[in-house]
Structure 1
Amino acid sequence: MKRKLIAAVGVAGMVVSVAACGSDSDKGGKTDASGNKTLTVWVMDGSAPDAWMAEVNKAFEAKHKGVKVKVEKQQWNGIQEKVTTALSEDTPPDVLELGNTQTAGYAVTGGLADLSGDKATLGYDGWNKGMLASNELDGKLYSAPWYAANRVVVYDKAAYKKAGISAPKTRAEWIDGLKKLKAADPKSQPIYLPGQSWYVYAGFLWDEGSDLALKDGDKWKGNLSSAQAVSAMNFYKELQSYSTAPKDKDEATPQQSTDVVPKGGVASWIGLGWEAGGAIDAMKKAGKTADFGYFPIPGKTADKPGSVFFGGSNLAVSERSQNKELAKEWLALAAGKDHMTKYAAATEGALLPNNDAAQFKPAAGSFAEAMALAAPVGKITPVTPGWANVETAPNPIKDYMTKVLKGEDAKAAGEAADKVINERINQK
């Protein structure tokens, strides 16, 4: 349930063109030895609890006699190439899970079915608006949101108690708390924040009302030299000044949850649910006991938390599916409110369902509770096929952040980064 989010949160790479000449007919299709029609569903390993998936398929098969659902689990490693190939074949999977930053790239190739006319049956109006954005391109719907996850602040309760502080509600309270943590224990890091945690930075930029890149006519342009981007980066720089983390690395180099936090001396850090779980396990193996608290990344004001990046997955129907209408029905069932409510319960709030009304009521004080509080302000990176090119190493956003943290003027560094973004994001 956890590791898949590493890939879902920030996938880079190009996808090649896929010819779209499928039929809307459900005649023919794949059948097994007993003559049953087979509906093939690709999901990533760990995305769907087995019992939940079995219940969805049982309900679907009960309605469609003679149809069997075949679930094939996939691995994130190499999935882009595998999906690209599958979508170009005559018998692709009928339904498939796609990382939310990948979906636009597959949609533009023509490999995904247009679901715009199926919004009502799919439950479009009830979907979380932050998750919805990655499913649409140029006014058309190509997939349904499935689940997402976002980062929260993880803190050491003992360190916060020693400093006499509690979970902050605003940025100002957050900074004040970091100052008190530093005074209470000068040898400890009030917050561990690597210089290149660009998803965290993106949230600060969204809080300023802007984005990493903006549409400019029929082109896209980088936005890191804007006044909003500079303001966001200056706040990130202020936070990072309370950390001794490397300015030229991200949160995975070294892995903050298993290589840094378990060694001690870290009062707080920003991470995903699987990272919090990994830290707890690593500390246990080292003979230590983790006592973590969690709170949403604070916003500029107390009325709402800070914006966060939604890493997650969507469910799409292949344009070449030979069972397209059945595939749409399966998708409507699996992504519908009833089964998403059961999905949220099955994952115990570790993942956010596509419908806010389906959210599992997490335990008070849990990571899931803090994550759910930030769900209404979740967002994703710019929805354009060219965005994958931007994330390709060397990532210009990471380089920009490091330059500013090492003393370069934020606007000048942003202008240099924007030139790279402009070139990459508009590549065909």
Structure 2
Amino acid sequence: MKRKLIAAIGVAGMMVGLVACGSDDKGSDKGSESKGPDSYKGQTLTVWAMDGSTPDQWQADLTAEFEKTTGAKVKFEVQQWNGIQQKLTTSLSEENPPDVFEIGNTQTAAYAKTGGLADLGDLKKEIGGDWAENLNEASVIDGTQYAAPWYFANRVVLYNKSVFAEAGIAAPPKTRDEFYAALDKIKAKGKAEPIYLPGQNWYYFVGLTIGQGAELVKKDGDKWVSNLGDPKVAAAAELYKKLQSYSKAPKDKDEATPQQADIFAKGKTGAFIGMGWEAGTAIKANPAIEKEIGYFTIPGETADKPEGVFLGGSNLAVAEGSKKKELAKEFLKLALSDKFEGQLAKLNGVIPNKESLNTNLAGNPVAEAAAPSAKFGGTTPLIAEWAAVENAPNPIKTYLTAVLNGKSPADAAKQVEGEFNKRLSQKQ
């Protein structure tokens, strides 16, 4: 996670990690029925947040209001991405787990399965009535609210303004057909690669499946199995194949091999699909490219419905083993309030948990491009068994390369479904 680059361009990158740490105070909120100043006096709540998630001003303002409201102290402990999953797993099994912690939205199901997360159904009823349904989906496992949606990010189109202008493209495309037409113009001009799209940008592909209403897995009895053979998944693969035909990028590599932002930085590429923070990577490689970078929403079939996108992001959870669950919920009520949720969106350029707060993104070009897609976004399957699927070599990447090399989506699905199902059957 390139947080310094994020700050430079005013947008947070996709987050897929978690956070954790232990509490060290001796108090417990058991029996603290009254709310208000001094109701939790003498207690300290420990909050683990990932590096870069809590801007200094946000943290300072929230801390002051929390202490004024509850009489308790709050201690933020910043966690690093490297090794966080094992650290959190260990911490949740110990006597003094973190009270509140950040958790990746796609990892929430796995931690809920272990019994480490507290039920937040009462919190949802009290403050979550207008949380965006698709953003909250990853917090609900088997009908139970195990976390609360915090913030999100998704992919946009980053484009070279000069390349588009030289090809006679007056405004960013609003529909898929307009996008193809723009790329045709750049191709006809012959001076730049229309788009850089490697064959294995699989998170973009996940967005296409979401746009098609497809599911990547299905139930077979009591087991989850591959659903790559579904015609809706095939339709998404065909969309990917058409857009990739405008690119010279390798069909058997992902967006990090090489870094697509480094390719774009050379100034000979019309566009690429990526996270907003990748602009910072391009600027680092070639500072002169900064003035050329523009952003637009990934176009869908019609102008009023952008393409589906994968929503990476973070939820906030309370440890089942915390001795301060009620105090933790008081913290969440403040952290997730319109005041602090809106402030976080403004400072970090991330998508907030309710659409009404998107006004806080005004003036941030990356966030403004990302926001329209958010309500049409989703995630990878929200099952604990999914984690093994993403391990290298990811069978979905293999599937995409096979399609791009000429196999039908149906045959490509058959090629990888054995490995796909093997991973889904691995015990967590």
TM over 0.5: yes
Residue identity matched to 2:284: D
Q: Which residue of 2 aligns with 1:231?
A: 235
Q: Answer yes or no: is 1:101 the counterpart of 2:106.
A: yes
In the aligned structure 2, how far is the partner of 1:242 from the partner of 1:170?
A: 17
Q: Deviations over 1:231-289 (max 9, x none)?
A: 111111111111111111111111111x21112211100111111232233321xx555
Say if 2:211 and 2:376, in contact at 8 Å, map to a contact too. Answer: no
Q: Which residue of 2 aligns with 1:305?
A: 306
Q: Which residue of 1 aligns with 2:52?
A: 46
In the aligned structure 2, how far is the partner of 1:180 from the partner of 1:252?
A: 27
Counterparts in 2 of 1:1-400, with a 5 A limit? 2-3=2-3, 8-9=15-16, 26-27=29-30, 36-65=42-71, 67-121=72-126, 123-165=127-169, 166-184=171-189, 186-257=190-261, 259-284=262-287, 287-347=288-348, 350-363=349-362, 366-400=365-399
- In structure 2, the CA distance between the partners of 1:291 and 1:345, relative to structure 1 (3 Å rule), is same
Q: Answer yes or no: is 1:402 the counterpart of 2:401.
A: yes
Structure 2 residue runs of 5 or longer lacking an equivalent are 7-11, 19-27, 33-40
Secondary structure in structure 2 of the residue aligned to 1:386: helix
Say if 1:283 and 1:290, in contact at 8 Å, map to a contact too. Answer: no
- In structure 2, the CA distance between the partners of 1:50 and 1:28, relative to structure 1 (3 Å rule), is farther
CA RMSD, aligned part only? 2.2
Secondary structure in structure 2 of the residue aligned to 1:221: strand
Say if 1:293 and 1:365, in contact at 8 Å, map to a contact too. Answer: no
Moved more, 84-93 or 230-239: 230-239
Secondary structure in structure 1 of the residue aligned to 2:389: helix
- In structure 2, the CA distance between the partners of 1:94 and 1:374, relative to structure 1 (3 Å rule), is same
How far is 1:2 from its partner?
4.4
Secondary structure in structure 1 of the residue aligned to 2:215: coil
Residue identity matched to 1:227: P
Say if 2:15 and 2:152, in contact at 8 Å, map to a contact too. Answer: no
Residue identity matched to 1:207: G
Query: TM-score, normalized by length of structure 1?
Result: 0.89
Once the two structures are aligned, what percentage of the paired residues are identical? 51
Q: Deviations over 1:298-323 (max 9, x none)?
A: 11122210011111111000000011
Secondary structure in structure 2 of the residue aligned to 1:290: helix
How far is 1:345 from its partner?
2.1
Say if 1:60 and 1:330, in contact at 8 Å, map to a contact too. Answer: yes
Structure 1 residue runs of 5 or longer lacking an equivalent are 13-24, 30-34
Moved over 4 A (4+): 1-7
How far is 1:418 from its partner?
2.8
Secondary structure in structure 2 of the residue aligned to 1:270: strand
In the aligned structure 2, how far is the partner of 1:28 from the partner of 1:194?
A: 57
- In structure 2, the CA distance between the partners of 1:217 and 1:298, relative to structure 1 (3 Å rule), is farther
Query: TM-score, normalized by length of structure 2?
Result: 0.89
How far is 1:420 from its partner?
2.4
In the aligned structure 1, how far is the partner of 2:94 from the partner of 2:212?
A: 44
In the aligned structure 1, how far is the partner of 2:308 from the partner of 2:152?
A: 14
Q: Which residue of 1 aligns with 2:414?
A: 415
Secondary structure in structure 2 of the residue aligned to 1:413: helix
Say if 2:108 and 2:138, in contact at 8 Å, map to a contact too. Answer: yes
Say if 1:224 and 1:230, in contact at 8 Å, map to a contact too. Answer: yes
Say if 1:131 and 1:380, in contact at 8 Å, map to a contact too. Answer: no
Q: Deviations over 1:146-194 (max 9, x none)?
A: 100010001111111111123112211111211111001x242100001
Residue identity matched to 1:421: F
Residue identity matched to 2:223: K
In the aligned structure 1, how far is the partner of 2:58 from the partner of 2:275?
A: 23
In the aligned structure 1, how far is the partner of 2:172 from the partner of 2:219?
A: 37
In the aligned structure 1, how far is the partner of 2:318 from the partner of 2:47?
A: 9
Residue identity matched to 1:397: I
How far is 1:221 from its partner?
2.2
Secondary structure in structure 1 of the residue aligned to 2:44: strand
Say if 1:113 and 1:142, in contact at 8 Å, map to a contact too. Answer: yes
Secondary structure in structure 1 of the residue aligned to 2:384: coil
Residue identity matched to 1:94: D
Q: Which residue of 2 aligns with 1:15?
A: none
In the aligned structure 1, how far is the partner of 2:44 from the partner of 2:364?
A: 44
How far is 1:120 from its partner?
2.0
Residue identity matched to 1:8: M
Q: How many pairs were matched up?
A: 403
In the aligned structure 1, how far is the partner of 2:113 from the partner of 2:13?
A: 24
